[in-house]
Copies of this chain bind each other. A is one copy, B any other.
Amino acid sequence: MAIDTTLEHLTSPWDHLAQENPLVGFLDTLLRGCGQVMFQNNPLTGLLFLIGIFINSALLGVAGLIGLVVSTVTALLLGADRSLIRAGLFGYNGILVGIGLAFFVHWNAFLVVYIILAAFLSAVVMMGLLNLMGGRDIPALTAPFVISAWLFLFGVYLFHHLPPSAAIAPTLLNPNAVVQTDLRPLPTGLAGAGITILNLVEAFFRGIGEVFFQDNLATGVIFLIAILVNSRISALFAALGSLVGLLTALFLFGGNGYWVYHGLYGFNAVLCGIALGGLFYVFTWESTLYALLCMIVSTVVMASISVALSPLGMPALTAPFVLTAWLFIWPRGGFHVLHPVALADVTSAEHIRHDFLAREHAVGVGRTVQPAP
A residues with CB within 8 A of B = 77-81, 110, 113-114, 117, 120-121, 124-125, 127-132, 136, 138, 147, 150-162, 164, 168-170, 172-175, 177-179, 181, 252-256, 286, 290, 293, 296-297, 300-308, 311-313, 323, 326-338
User: A308 — nearest CB in chain B belongs to which residue?
Assistant: B154
Assuming the contacts A170-B173, A330-B132, asked whether A179 and B159 have C-beta atoms less than 8 A apart, the reply is yes
Contact B164 A179 (CB under 8 A): no
Return the contact of A327 from the options B128, B169, B172, B323 (Cβ within 8 A): B128
Q: Which of A155, A164, A305 has the most C-beta atoms of chain B within 10 angstroms of its own C-beta?
A: A155
* A323 to B: closest C-beta gap in Å: 8
Assuming the contacts A79-B335, A311-B312, asked whether A158 and B303 have C-beta atoms less than 8 A apart, the reply is yes
Assuming the contacts A162-B254, A307-B158, asked whether A332 and B172 have C-beta atoms less than 8 A apart, the reply is no
Q: How far is the CA of A99 from the CA of B210 in the complex (A)?
A: 36
Q: How far is the CA of A329 from the CA of B128 in the complex (A)?
A: 7
Contact A307 B311 (CB under 8 A): no
Assuming the contacts A159-B254, A170-B175, A255-B160, asked whether A301 and B331 have C-beta atoms less than 8 A apart, the reply is no
Q: How far is the CA of A158 from the CA of B301 in the complex (A)?
A: 11
B residues less than 8 Å from A157 (CB atoms) = 173-175, 177, 303, 307
Contact A334 B170 (CB under 8 A): no
Contact A179 B154 (CB under 8 A): no
Q: Which of A113, A160, A326, A335 has the most C-beta atoms of chain B within 10 angstroms of its own C-beta?
A: A335
* A281 to B: closest C-beta gap in Å: 11
Contact A113 B252 (CB under 8 A): yes
Assuming the contacts A127-B334, A330-B127, asked whether A300 and B110 have C-beta atoms less than 8 A apart, the reply is no
Contact A331 B127 (CB under 8 A): yes
Assuming the contacts A151-B301, A158-B306, A175-B170, asked whether A334 and B80 have C-beta atoms less than 8 A apart, the reply is yes
Closest 7 CB pairs of A and B: A128-B330, A160-B254, A79-B336, A154-B304, A155-B303, A127-B331, A161-B254
* A107 to B: closest C-beta gap in Å: 16
B residues less than 8 Å from A80 (CB atoms) = 334-336
Assuming the contacts A154-B307, A155-B304, A303-B155, asked whether A330 and B162 have C-beta atoms less than 8 A apart, the reply is no
